[in-house]
Structure 1
């Protein structure tokens, strides 16, 4: 929990700095873009633990999953568009054109995992 609080505080502070008009150094963007995949991997580990080990669904945890995935996705997209990450232009254009669809599919898979894992509960509500 403390790791997440620290990471989200640092990302929020850097977001405020960027919104105030400051330009961050390329190395800082690379560091952020290196930390974001680690956060996504950890969030997916937490998804597995929550759904299949603990057999519980925590709404606060689900919000953290959604925010971490969006943070990773849009941070990587920003780094691709600004040329911070060295990728071919064609790849950059494809990701830019389909990023909303890909992010929606990612969220959709997680929603399907939750719905299928707790199907007996959802069907009991009907």
Structure 2
């Protein structure tokens, strides 16, 4: 019996529509991933709890909930605790990355960033 290679699915949670589109297109066209986008934390949380995703790319600053709080929620919830989470954010003050890693973020990237590097990091987190 042959099994089809299942595409990796990435949930991107960010309130910047242009950035969501850029990341989504890049990951689809250059990495072959399926992507799901959410423009706020509650929508992203609902998707993460219902859809099987292999990676979450999460912004820190969202309109309804701070990404760092959503990270804590994801990493303690049964349905999402094992999903790798890459924080992609402009938060680059001393202690920001450390706080995210203390809450079990799997990776942290600062904005602005390279789409190629983001794709590489995403791929590495899902292997």
TM-score under structure 2 length normalisation: 0.30
Larger Rg: 1
Q: Which has the higher strand share?
A: 2
Q: Which has the higher helix share?
A: 1
